[in-house]
Amino acid sequence: MHAPTLVADLATVLLVASFTGLVFRKLGQPSVLGYLLAGLIVGPYIPIPIFADPERIHALSEVGVVLVMFVVGLELRLERLARVLPTAGPMTLIEVTALLGTGYGIGHALGWDTKAAIFLGASIAISSTMLVSKVFEDRDPGPDVREHVMSMLVIQDVLAIVLAAVLTAVAAGEGLSAEAIGGVIGKLALVLGLILIVGLLVVPRLVRFVVGLRSTELLVVVCMGLCFGLALAAEAAGFSVALGAFFAGTLVAESGKGEMVEHLASPLRDTFAAIFFVSIGMTVDPRVAFTHLGTSLLIFAAVVFAQLIAVSVSGVLSGNGPRRSVTAGLSLGQVGEFGFILSAIGINAGLAPPELGPIVVTVAVLTAFSTPLAVRSADAIVRGLDHALPQKLQDVSSLYEQWFEAFRSRGPAKRSPMARATTIAVLDGVAVTTLVILAATFRPQLEALIRERVGVAPPWDRVMLVCGTLLVALLPAVQFVRAARSLGAQTAERVFGPPNEAAQRHRPRRLLEVAVQLLVVLVIGIPCAVFALPFAGGWLALAIATLALGTVALLWRTAGQVAPQVQFSAERLVDLLSRQTAAQSGGATESKSDGILGLDMAHGVALDERSHAVGKTLADLDLRAVTGATVVAIRNADDDHRLPTGQEPLAVGDVLALAGTAPSIARARALLLEGAMRVSSPGADEAAQNMTP
């Protein structure tokens, strides 16, 4: 009796979704938008005589969530996570927590309560792996940018799983107190530890055994059983089904057969994922969406610009260069599939207002249209930002990227002091955050105790509490600053050598030290401040912002001091490269740097009559914005050298001294000599692959 109705619902949903999906795909837009439109058509809010039962479709959409998360897990082996975590982890942590804080602030500005504001922040914090993958299929941004963005998306997915787990527990009635969240995190760590320990012992061996039986049918059944079994176990433990499904995929991937299973599971995943998006569209009342259009536009702008700023700033400070960082920020400016999942958790639990669903869907639709446009315009935007940079920043930015390449290429030493300094910085950041949260949580009791013991009246009890909290937090705060300075000094030592080796390196060393200190403040400070927001307001955020701005001012001043020294060193370097190039009669050479620039090797390119760059200016070529490399000095055929302004025409016999990473140098050489950004030699190609994070 129920089967025909369910079959009718499935037929209606899939037929309408296939039509709208084809239309949007034909228009060059993501098919997800077509599925959302299908949900509006078959839903209860538009008077079209095509209807599907929302409750049954919602139940089926749960299957879509489980399968989507299972396939996401299949793409994430623990080895890959460990590989991308050091390079993409800090940027992703800054980005996700910055978006969380942005959404939380907007929610409070709208008059929402704390829990609703948290769900808003969580809903906009995670980008869309599906959408970004489709956009990159249509327009390839280059292997370095693609790998950089996809690495960040991998870590985003892991953070989204943690968010879903914590928010599911909050929705189940655990609350938002510090004790409750601490208990949830401890329980989550215990559950994940059991899943990983037991799962790694059993699941990979089981999957390999089933593959050995050469039965595709049995392999699918076993993997689906693992997927839904772990999803059920996670739900029984009080967490989201997405958590169990994700780790089921990760455990299956550890068997080494993840690609095979993904190939088999993808058609089923795609079908039920379409149903999931249709179910989201069915919950949207167009009248409510139109009523809250202004809010949606505000959040849309916040998502696009907050992503761009967070990813670009953290990327540049992490040594990824302006081109790669800005392009990544433009690529990640959308609300992803997790936004629907996280908002649904809050709405279904009654912790978020019903309008959150239509708002998130509206923002997702707007960003689905804006992301392809932003990626197509990335080159022009990067050029514009590059031209707007002050000259002193242009002089040192590529060198800074090269310093980080040298730092990473040397690998971590065993029992490195950097690991100890990092641990101290994290623990001190957590200590300050904990003290602030405890003072805010127990403020009434502490103020009453102060009034009783000291005998003061309001508002002096609160003043004494604030001063006491600041005094107690001063020691870990000072230790945190010292740890950040230690990390900066150790990074500079691995790039420039011991401090007393060359006095002339002091200012470039200082620049790198201050930049690393700023990175540490942002990576640890922003998550701590965002975590404390529901408890202590913006006091900790204000303190972190003050520290960050002070570091930025110091960084700006140091960059101005370094620029003349960089220019002088570049002139000496191009003289050496010119003599070597003339002696070798080659188109390019490299030489040991004198160390002042912090470069192990310097690269020179000599132009001849066949070179593409002859007769053009660096501004015409947009060499730095397009390739990521910088011409630090030029020497012409008359042995005169000059610092590039970007406006001088290049001529036959010019020798250009290039700074940048190995891939950017390869792109720049190809552009200067051949007019095409392709790696022009096997050795350069190998270097480009090795240096891509």
CATH number at residue 649: 3.30.70.1450
Using the 8-state DSSP alphabet, how is residue 43 labeled? S
207 & 268 share domain: yes
Given a contact cutoff of 8 angstroms between Cβ atoms, the answer to whether 64 and 276 are in contact is: yes
Q: What is the pLDDT of residue 305?
A: 92
Q: How confident is the prediction for the chain on average, in pLDDT?
A: 79
Given a contact cutoff of 8 angstroms between Cβ atoms, the answer to whether 673 and 656 are in contact is: no
Position 246: which residue type?
F
Q: What is the pLDDT of residue 680?
A: 37
pLDDT band at 301 (very low <50, low <70, confident <90, very high): very high
178 & 144 share domain: yes
444 & 497 share domain: yes
- Residue 335: which of 310, 309, 311, 370 has the closest Cα? 370
456 & 603 share domain: no
381 & 403 share domain: no
Q: What is the pLDDT of residue 537?
A: 58
Whether 659 shows a pLDDT value over 60: the answer reads yes
pLDDT band at 285 (very low <50, low <70, confident <90, very high): confident
For 433, the domain range is: 391-563
When mean pLDDT is compared across 218-232, 471-485, 490-504, 529-543, the lowest value belongs to 490-504
Strands 630-635 and 641-642: what pairing? Answer: antiparallel
Counting residues of the chain whose pLDDT is more than 70, the rounded percentage is 83
Count up the domains in the chain and report the number: 3
Q: Which of 563, 591, 618 is the last residue of a domain?
A: 563
C-alpha 64/C-alpha 277 separation (Å) is 9
Side-chain-side CA neighbours of residue 288 (13 Å): 17
Q: What Rg do the C-alpha atoms of the chain give, in angstroms?
A: 28
**pTM for the structure as a whole:** 0.79
Cα dihedral across residues 500, 503, 508, 513: positive or negative: positive
When mean pLDDT is compared across 274-283, 459-468, 635-644, the lowest value belongs to 635-644
pLDDT in tens, 378-420: 888 887 887 777 766 766 776 777 778 777 766 655 557 888 8
> Which residues are bridge partners to 635 per DSSP?
641, 655
401 & 379 share domain: no
Q: What is the pLDDT of residue 324?
A: 84
Q: What are phi and psi of 632, to 5 degrees?
A: -85, -20
Q: Which of 563, 596, 614 is the last residue of a domain?
A: 563
Per the model's pLDDT, the better-predicted residue between 396 and 159 turns out to be: 159
26 & 96 share domain: yes
C-alpha 239/C-alpha 24 separation (Å) is 35
Q: What is the pLDDT of residue 692?
A: 33
Q: Using the structure block, give the residue that is written with the tokens 């006091």.
A: 539
103 & 209 share domain: yes
Strand arrangement, sheet containing 601-606: 588-592, 601-606, 655-659, 630-635, 641-642
97 & 114 share domain: yes
Domain with residue 276: its CATH number is 1.20.1530.20
Structure token pair of residue 402: 């090269």
353 & 271 share domain: yes
Neighbours of 648 (CB within 10 A): 15
- First-residue to last-residue Cα distance in the chain: 57
Q: Which of 369, 388, 407 is the last residue of a domain?
A: 388
578 & 527 share domain: no
Give Cβ neighbours of residue 607 (< 8 Å, ≥ 6 apart): 613, 614, 650, 651, 652, 653, 654, 655, 656, 672, 673
Give Cβ neighbours of residue 684 (< 8 Å, ≥ 6 apart): 662, 665, 666, 669
When mean pLDDT is compared across 127-131, 133-137, 324-328, 333-337, the lowest value belongs to 133-137
C-alpha 205/C-alpha 121 separation (Å) is 40
pLDDT band at 173 (very low <50, low <70, confident <90, very high): low
448 & 518 share domain: yes
Q: Output b/e per residue, 273-307; b: 16+ Cβ within 10 A.
A: bbbbbbbbbbbbbeebbeebeebbebbbebbbebb
Q: Using the structure block, give the residue that is written with the tokens 């078959």.
A: 42
